[in-house]
Structure 1
Amino acid sequence: MAQTNFRPEYISFDCYGTLIDFAVDSTTRRLLAGRLSEEQWPKFKAMFRGYRYDQICGEYQPYEQVLEDSFNRVSRRWGLEPVEGAGAQFGEAVRSWVAHDDVPAPLKLMGENYKLVILSNADDSFLDVSVPRLGAEFHAVYTAEQAQAYKPRYQAFEYMLDTLNASPEDFLHVSSHTRYDLMPMHDLGFPNMIYLDRGYDPDVPGYDYTTVYSLDELNKHLGL
């Protein structure tokens, strides 16, 4: 972040993982139905994450389809039969997820002082359910469905910029995902980025973001 008490026009956020707890493991385990050992689970989990990333780097498809196709692709790699309707089950799970415990109070304070924006890798129907659980008012909520592209594709970020008639300098962006958000945004010229470290991604030196461990800590940087 450029300086303490920096005042951006917008504070933008990734949603799932950053604000909403990305609790995908329990559904993944249920769909596997004991077909993997505990020793195999960490490697499958990591590969599933990689396949989700690969799936969104192509043409846009609905989020449930992303989840279904990526799960079934990695299952085949492990010699496992695909699960019919896996996407719908993942979708139901996503819609049940709640905010991280440390989100609502500091986010509400932030929203009383700044215009808050979400740029999410999901469809409108997911954000319609999830955003009210965050406890803050948002100036705008943008989705992959609206942009017809998922982060890290530049089209997703350009959609936010074009719709707001804004420039990268107008934002402070907050994400728990270096690979989806912070790395491409650095390359697009966003100068003020926050890595909210929730343990999803490793730290990636050289991308000019500031690391915090809570929204309370970020509020202190903002002078709130």
Structure 2
Amino acid sequence: MNRFRPKYVTFDCHGTLINFQMAEAARDLFGHLLGGPRMDEFIRNFQGYRLDEVMQDWKPYADVVHNALERTCRRNNIAFRAEDAETIYNRIPTWGPHPDVPAGLAKLAKEIPLVTLTNSMMAQIPSNVAKLGAPFHAVLTAEEAGAYKPHFKAFE
């Protein structure tokens, strides 16, 4: 009997493979202004606004971060500074994998080609993928698709 063997195994990158540290970045920049529950609310708002931004027409991820942070600051009565959004965006390529990811990916990559479909930008994702410790057959970005997940266009 033939065993099913997938042609590829696909992964999301940020959050699934890469430790996506948006909350930590927000705490670093705004923690001195907001304590405890207010900071937690700020982070929830920032996450929600990022989702809302990617549900709109495609725009560069720097704009997604900028717009979401600006909206979050306004909602939380915090002064918005464009350089804070740029700082957060520029941190993304420095983030590495969750601790248990590289060994498992390397083992899997020996058997089945790996593919990632990411909401990242083409200029940023190579740095993150290089930290994963396994070869990828393909790295597909929202920028190339002209849409962010979960838009169907991102998968077409």
Q: TM-score, normalised by structure 2?
A: 0.93
Can you give the 5+ residue segments of structure 1 that lack an aligned partner in the other structure? 159-224
Percentage of matched positions with identical amino acids:
37
- 1:26 deviates by 2.5
The answer for the alignment partner of 1:174 in structure 2 is none
The answer for the alignment partner of 1:93 in structure 2 is 91
Contact 1:31 1:83 survives alignment (8 Å): no
* CA deviation vs aligned residue, 1:137-162 (integer Å, no higher than 9, x gap): 1111000110111001111011xxxx
- Identify the match of residue 119 of structure 1 among 117, 120, 123: 117
Which structure 2 residues correspond to residues 1-150 of structure 1 after superposition, within 5 A? 6-32=4-30, 34-150=32-148
Contact 1:21 1:97 survives alignment (8 Å): yes
* Matched residues, number: 154
* CA deviation vs aligned residue, 1:106-149 (integer Å, no higher than 9, x gap): 10111111111000011011111111111111111000110111
Residue 11 of structure 2 aligns with an amino acid whose one-letter code is F
The answer for the alignment partner of 1:164 in structure 2 is none
Counterpart CA distance in 2 for 1:113 and 1:31 is 42
Residue 29 of structure 1 aligns with an amino acid whose one-letter code is R
- 1:13 deviates by 0.4
Which structure 2 residues correspond to residues 170-189 of structure 1 after superposition, within 5 A? none
Pairwise CA RMSD of aligned residues? 1.4
Q: After TM superposition, what 4+ stretches of structure 1 lie above 6 angstroms from structure 2?
A: none
Counterpart CA distance in 1 for 2:23 and 2:72 is 15
Contact 1:64 1:90 survives alignment (8 Å): no
* CA deviation vs aligned residue, 1:33-58 (integer Å, no higher than 9, x gap): 52212121222211111110000011
Contact 2:9 2:114 survives alignment (8 Å): yes
Contact 2:31 2:39 survives alignment (8 Å): no
Contact 1:144 1:156 survives alignment (8 Å): yes
- 1:6 deviates by 4.8
Counterpart CA distance in 2 for 1:26 and 1:155 is 30
Q: TM-score, normalised by structure 1?
A: 0.66
Contact 1:64 1:88 survives alignment (8 Å): yes
Residue 87 of structure 1 aligns with an amino acid whose one-letter code is A
Counterpart CA distance in 1 for 2:149 and 2:21 is 20
Q: Which has the higher helix share?
A: 2
Counterpart CA distance in 2 for 1:60 and 1:83 is 23
Counterpart CA distance in 2 for 1:75 and 1:10 is 41
* CA deviation vs aligned residue, 1:2-24 (integer Å, no higher than 9, x gap): xxx75221100000111110112
Which structure 2 residues correspond to residues 137-216 of structure 1 after superposition, within 5 A? 137-158=135-156
Residue 133 of structure 2 aligns with an amino acid whose one-letter code is G
Contact 2:102 2:134 survives alignment (8 Å): yes
